[in-house]
Structure 1
């Protein structure tokens, strides 16, 4: 092989689309003098055309199995969150309130449902009863060979959902031997946050101090093995894994031991308190008189006083990290009958169980009518009612806020059982063409069992409300009008359970042929290569809610959870064409054009094309230029189409509530606030309000145009880099219009399409009971533009008799802009900002690896993870300081080959115990932090030992 050819091969093999960890991927046979070169062709994420290297016109980020192991993470979402291209998804292990029990990936912050997840190049099925995105809990980290991240549209190659890109988990399939790994990990933190401790001292709350010890412990067992059979014609690999981790409550960290207010300046709390609070008004002629409403608290002598600071610190009992038990097993089998028929089989199964624990249930300001002469009131209380409302007051209406501290926390038990089977065959049709046909079936059965929440239909009777049945034999009164009058027995009797069960299935039949034609461009020595294929995919989703869920009969659920049954079918044809235009010209070593097209016919929304055009220009031995244009498509999923419309909660503020509303009386009147209510409408201390949410069967697919332009260089033998500009512009985005924005648009414009969506309760609020709400169902409306630059480099050198390898991947975010109401509302820019509309998006973020090895029995590594600052860009969101400061994390690891068959891994992530940034209620994900974005629990220590046989 001449030097030029070798240099080209080395460049292709080492750059690999700007990989984040050095890898050799080009396979070559040893050759005798004069023997013909035999180079293996492989298939890379972003194309079905097999090629001799991993370099494509589309940028592909890679994470090797060595980096996966060195990270020490046992959860796939924790590993992937270290990549700058991924944003913390809505679902991870640090979600308690609203937990779905799944783990999702979110490229570019466009949402998990716009990131396509593959395993060995084929779709992973959707998650569970609450989720339409792929659940990466199904993927065992110990079996990952590498992860390929295509950071651009991929719909023409893979179909719907690949708007932000594709994450492909390539699994180990050709193992020989047997391997057992035993691991453990946990968190450690020094509780010394003076700011938070000061706020809790002011509030009189308890909190931990000093070292935490090791908590949140995880234990893992990973078993894998494989061998050849049938004289080397076949190979089989199997695996089995088990992982369990302990729970962590918010009380274990000082910075999460109280719930901050919206501004992050005071330890807040809930007015639904252990000692009850009441909104009370006279009830006259069948209606309450809210003009005379008072807000009272109960005293130790069972009388009423005006509310002052009787709030409950609900934070400590919430999960900071959920407990989890998960096991998986599966296999990969390949058998070469002959060159024309090579069948393969993949199987996988996962069982996962977790629970999301949040603060106790209670009577969350549900309203009831009471007779003043009822025996539930004492004489002093009766006199207070008549002194306040008039001597002839016979009935009052009370909104009751009483926390169930006597009965313990609410718990959502979440369970998932997923299995996936891929059966297919590949082989040669001729010397130039190959086929691949496969059938894939994936299914996830899941359930949600919500326990220890209050059952609302029992409340009138046990509270003694007017018109309810008397609390007789077998009924235990829930005595909220007597100080500490509620007993544990009364609390338990009022508890209820709600059950959801669901199953989602995905069936895919796929077939394609790939190879080289007999045609070539006149200026090229290479033939045009192509792929032609067809695919049929059917997705069905069924979620069945019991009567308790459907009626919204549990006090702390915020509204009904309805059954959801639906599905769709899509038939597709697709093609790719690889056109070598020229080689060995004065201006190019090679110039190649890639074309792709897919037409998708959906049973729900009709036909929609996607396509791509890509250019790969190898300028010389050291540099190449590349560029792509992709039209990407995402069809609406089952929930977006068919979810029954019902009541739920949204976080934010009612700008017409409080004693100093954001808008004038005239503007708030447009939103339904009367002149008498103006300045007297109560705001929710927890920042949650009612909304009507649900599906829309008339939704159309989302469209996105993705452009990438880049340069790849290998100027030195030990140094390579890539720089890629990317731009994703979307239209017809599916989503809801933020209820708070609806209120503001109504107040500012008076337009009926906004004002008609607002229904206020008789008292003017949007949160007490269920009578006040904002309608916000799914629509095709929003537009967005995300753009930035990805930069990568790899460098290695000899130092001290060993090899030092350094690699870096970073992203500079230029634009992250969303226009919720095109032509009406101004675009919301999130690049470099954080606020109620923007998940924090630093302008620069990177991950840099350092690995040193002598080639002997030990290897050490370090990683520098950096997240740039993000500013608050709305006055209402000026929380602690001016925004989020930059954050650097240092991760350390060391691997020791104790013997030929035993190795030990030790490590510590966030070795300097950097605390997460503290944010107020408006922006917090959990525990006053951006859990999953920042390291939420302190330093993470891990260790494992691996035995090979």
Structure 2
């Protein structure tokens, strides 16, 4: 068929109204570019069967495509590589087959059987509907359903919603070199704040999370294939990204907008939807190895993938093994010491020293030295950075499989399952002992044989360097199983889905102290006469380093264990269809029901549960479960379309009702509008109300004890006698204080209102260019908070919370109690910017440029209705000190990608603007420098052995060191925003058969 004939038929079909749904495969990955069959691009299509080859074509061309999968699945395909028009590629793919193609809308390609070129050829209309050839030339009222995009339950091909959705496709994931999803999402501009990863040692647990807009991870909903899954096993409040095998990921869709009306709770900041691979044919073996310039952080990944199709279905299975070695704090200049005063920072070394530090009854302080004692000097502090891991070693083994089976042309079944096993091992400094500041204070008795002072001692600080380093081992297993039936009945698309997931986790902290034994060992000699006499070994806590011998270590040393799980079982049903014609086109509706059962449990061993350890976190058991039932409805109403079809106006609306068995119900609405002004300009806007149900951990957490980093205002002499809560100058050498937190069954849901407005511009004068800008505003109320720092500040400045703040006779903090309450508020607003440019193919290859950035104009946080709001935009507050992490005003990335025949290269630039912080122990502000890194990758596909590909990359080419964060407890940097590793090289080799 000639090009002119095709264009004539395309114009004819564009005039048709399309209503009847077709069964097939449709891919709708919006690129913001107005692709057409006549536009050229560089294609690399290597799938052995036609069905996945057509899907590869769709992704690389930017065109949506529908085709009869039951016909195309078993047809062999030929490899295509080079710069060609989309029409040329389609002609080559369908050559020598009984299939042909047509352009039925501006960006939708329909593939159909030549044996059914008209409705008459396919017998009656009823017969056509029963056979569903997907598309029939000449049959009016043919409507092709597309695929769902994150943020909507309605299937539409080529539809750009009123809310922006970023898509990280498989090629982009590969070019990033990232081997974990946490590593991949870290540089997304909309991600800020306290996301977890293995770059967080003290305070981490081997898991990884994502935090959109700087809101906590519990405010970002993580989905797998559009479905909810269980959170982290230790009563976690978000999905562990390390439990998702990257080798099985097809793409990641990021909705940066409130979506409670579509998905329910947790989607206040947005949604991260991880789409797993489905259409894969053949066998792939791949290996990855990387290492830093310093010779550490050795990383390896080994992957096997196999996919096949058969007469009525398909099967895909992949297994991978990942191993990451550590970086130690001492091996980087910025992190090798907790004392950063020489660089404008602070001295955060610990007052628990290897030589005993003793406060005498007259309040003078001495330190053990040799056979005696001397007055304490300003440098008598312990540098824990000599011992700690900065990046935690991690191992992960994963298995993932999915498949499909066509019961008929109208009903298809899908299943997927995954099993992931991870283990992480962090090294912490030896256990510190603060006798005066434990949950049950310790007293060195005047009658203790090692006490030369002749009086009871209540404040002794000692770093137990005679013990081995503390080791924190986290292990988890995550299992997920899902079964979905999809079909078509009387013009309705329907699906039924059952999903079950369970995450189990254990944490073991070894080489800590049995507090009950130490209490007895410090008492009178009469109560602790020796292992052979009464089973008790007296302990010399008052001597210099080395005074605690092996027998004393064996008597005191224990391990603390905690285990837990989270489980989620869900059943959902959704139906959707087009309803009626409006002036702008057909309207669509989707309605659905979901029922979930959630449960969690966190069980400490007997010592931890009885506050019987020092050096670990003592807490009571947590257990809770609930039932959730939800109903939703969503519609798209095209209100107007110009006679040319280039301009249009449509409205989107959604409403979701949620009923929780443990806190009540909620109704969340959402409205959106799209105004297309000619072929080049799209205006879009949304308004949504959201909510976050209090987590099971927030509701039912048992009392939990920790040594929290708190800035005590009473350590500054000028506040004594001025602030009502400061009666004496507290000890300024301490920065960690005993804190007890816990759940609150009376919590209410957090609520939010969000608004966005923006535009997408594809200027016709520059083919291949798109520009977008979107303003966002999130107002959040009733925020759950348990801030010990807030309680201490309110007590010192206003005398509030007297029952929650306990001080000794010297004015030192001994205990802070802070349970969960609904008191906080947040307001976040800013702008997202993005551009994409695909240059026309040339003899030297194909070049594409892309970039995105987020500007945060305001981040107002208020911990209590009685306190003022603080603007955190452009600031850093470490999570260890109850801060919300790094909230840079600007965060962006720019990338260039080049392809020519078998060569492929990329250059990525990541940028984080400077941030303000308060130097610990002072009122002084300083600036954390901005940070920019360059990543390069080069790849080549060999023709000697077909399917063999090799790539090499270098991250942080210029070896830009992470900037100093004086208040950063973990390694003097913001490890959630910056990277400590420095220059890092890697290589990857893959063979596809």
TM-score range, shorter chain: 0.7 to 0.9
Corresponding residue for residue 574 of structure 1: 632
Inter-partner Cα distance in structure 1 for 2:677 and 2:464: 70
Inter-partner Cα distance in structure 2 for 1:221 and 1:440: 28
Aligned match for 1:148, one of 243, 253, 263: 253
Corresponding residue for residue 839 of structure 1: 885
Aligned match for 1:508, one of 567, 570, 584: 570
SS at match of 2:519: helix
Inter-partner Cα distance in structure 1 for 2:922 and 2:938: 43
Inter-partner Cα distance in structure 1 for 2:864 and 2:537: 52
Bigger mean CA offset, 394-403 vs 535-544: 394-403
Corresponding residue for residue 277 of structure 2: 172
Inter-partner Cα distance in structure 1 for 2:779 and 2:11: 40
Corresponding residue for residue 919 of structure 1: 965
Q: Are 2:549 and 1:487 aligned?
A: yes
Inter-partner Cα distance in structure 2 for 1:614 and 1:133: 28
Inter-partner Cα distance in structure 2 for 1:477 and 1:549: 23
How many residue pairs are counted as aligned between the two chains? 869
Deviation digits for residues 177-210 of structure 1 (CA, Å, limit 9, x no counterpart)? 010111111222xxxxxxxxxxxxxxxxxxxxxx
Structure 2 gaps of 5+ residues are 1-6, 16-25, 36-58, 68-99, 103-116, 119-136
SS at match of 1:104: coil
Corresponding residue for residue 412 of structure 2: 342
Inter-partner Cα distance in structure 2 for 1:467 and 1:580: 87
Aligned match for 2:773, one of 699, 723, 730: 723
Corresponding residue for residue 160 of structure 2: 55
The question of whether the paired residues in 2 share the 8 Å contact of 1:911 and 1:939 is answered with: yes
Aligned match for 2:465, one of 405, 408, 418: 405
Rate the CA distance shift 1:532–1:17 in 2: closer, same or farther, 3 A: farther
Q: Are 2:388 and 1:318 aligned?
A: yes
Bigger mean CA offset, 721-730 vs 483-492: 483-492
Q: Are 2:137 and 1:137 aligned?
A: no
Rate the CA distance shift 1:888–1:122 in 2: closer, same or farther, 3 A: same
Rate the CA distance shift 1:59–1:803 in 2: closer, same or farther, 3 A: same
The question of whether the paired residues in 2 share the 8 Å contact of 1:17 and 1:61 is answered with: no
1:560-599 correspondence to structure 2 within 5 Å: 560-585=618-643, 589-599=647-657
Rate the CA distance shift 1:488–1:919 in 2: closer, same or farther, 3 A: farther
The question of whether the paired residues in 1 share the 8 Å contact of 2:257 and 2:756 is answered with: yes
Inter-partner Cα distance in structure 1 for 2:271 and 2:744: 27
Corresponding residue for residue 833 of structure 2: 791
SS at match of 1:68: helix
Corresponding residue for residue 863 of structure 1: 908
Aligned match for 1:539, one of 598, 602, 611: 598
Deviation at residue 940 of structure 1 after TM alignment: 1.9
Corresponding residue for residue 955 of structure 2: 909
Alignment TM-score, normalising by the size of structure 2: 0.83
Deviation at residue 688 of structure 1 after TM alignment: 1.3
Rate the CA distance shift 1:298–1:925 in 2: closer, same or farther, 3 A: closer
Bigger mean CA offset, 561-570 vs 251-260: 251-260
Corresponding residue for residue 328 of structure 2: 249
Q: Are 2:712 and 1:712 aligned?
A: no
The question of whether the paired residues in 2 share the 8 Å contact of 1:329 and 1:349 is answered with: yes
Inter-partner Cα distance in structure 2 for 1:333 and 1:17: 33
Inter-partner Cα distance in structure 1 for 2:292 and 2:927: 26
The question of whether the paired residues in 2 share the 8 Å contact of 1:461 and 1:470 is answered with: no
Aligned match for 1:555, one of 614, 627, 635: 614
Corresponding residue for residue 302 of structure 2: 221
The question of whether the paired residues in 2 share the 8 Å contact of 1:14 and 1:25 is answered with: no
The question of whether the paired residues in 2 share the 8 Å contact of 1:648 and 1:692 is answered with: yes
Rate the CA distance shift 1:410–1:140 in 2: closer, same or farther, 3 A: same
The question of whether the paired residues in 2 share the 8 Å contact of 1:27 and 1:40 is answered with: no
Bigger mean CA offset, 31-40 vs 154-163: 31-40
Bigger mean CA offset, 463-472 vs 507-516: 463-472
Q: Are 2:196 and 1:91 aligned?
A: yes
SS at match of 1:511: strand
1:372-771 correspondence to structure 2 within 5 Å: 372=446, 374-377=448-451, 381=452, 385=453, 395-430=455-490, 432-465=491-524, 468-473=527-532, 475-483=536-544, 484-517=546-579, 519-521=580-582, 523-524=583-584, 526-557=585-616, 560-585=618-643, 589-657=647-715, 660-665=716-721, 667=723, 670-671=724-725, 674=727, 678-679=728-729, 681-685=730-734, 687-715=735-763, 716-736=766-786, 738-750=787-799, 752=800, 754-766=801-813
Corresponding residue for residue 849 of structure 2: 806
Q: Are 2:358 and 1:278 aligned?
A: yes
Deviation at residue 371 of structure 1 after TM alignment: 5.2
The question of whether the paired residues in 1 share the 8 Å contact of 2:27 and 2:66 is answered with: no
Inter-partner Cα distance in structure 2 for 1:65 and 1:337: 30
Structure 1 gaps of 5+ residues are 189-211, 282-291, 386-393, 767-771
Deviation at residue 929 of structure 1 after TM alignment: 0.9
Corresponding residue for residue 19 of structure 2: none
Inter-partner Cα distance in structure 1 for 2:720 and 2:445: 38
Q: CA RMSD in A?
A: 2.7
Deviation at residue 862 of structure 1 after TM alignment: 0.2
Inter-partner Cα distance in structure 2 for 1:536 and 1:606: 15
Aligned match for 1:76, one of 181, 188, 207: 181
SS at match of 1:755: coil
The question of whether the paired residues in 2 share the 8 Å contact of 1:102 and 1:128 is answered with: no
Corresponding residue for residue 828 of structure 1: 870
Rate the CA distance shift 1:806–1:568 in 2: closer, same or farther, 3 A: same
The question of whether the paired residues in 2 share the 8 Å contact of 1:186 and 1:218 is answered with: yes
Inter-partner Cα distance in structure 2 for 1:16 and 1:816: 33
Inter-partner Cα distance in structure 1 for 2:424 and 2:762: 47
Deviation at residue 336 of structure 1 after TM alignment: 1.2
Corresponding residue for residue 26 of structure 1: 64
Alignment TM-score, normalising by the size of structure 1: 0.87
Inter-partner Cα distance in structure 2 for 1:54 and 1:240: 35
SS at match of 1:665: coil
Aligned match for 1:851, one of 887, 892, 897: 897
Inter-partner Cα distance in structure 2 for 1:215 and 1:12: 39
Corresponding residue for residue 107 of structure 1: 212
The question of whether the paired residues in 1 share the 8 Å contact of 2:893 and 2:909 is answered with: yes
Corresponding residue for residue 365 of structure 1: 435
SS at match of 1:683: coil
The question of whether the paired residues in 2 share the 8 Å contact of 1:272 and 1:365 is answered with: no
Deviation digits for residues 17-46 of structure 1 (CA, Å, limit 9, x no counterpart)? 99xx97625115643699358755111100
The question of whether the paired residues in 2 share the 8 Å contact of 1:573 and 1:598 is answered with: yes
Q: Are 2:146 and 1:41 aligned?
A: yes
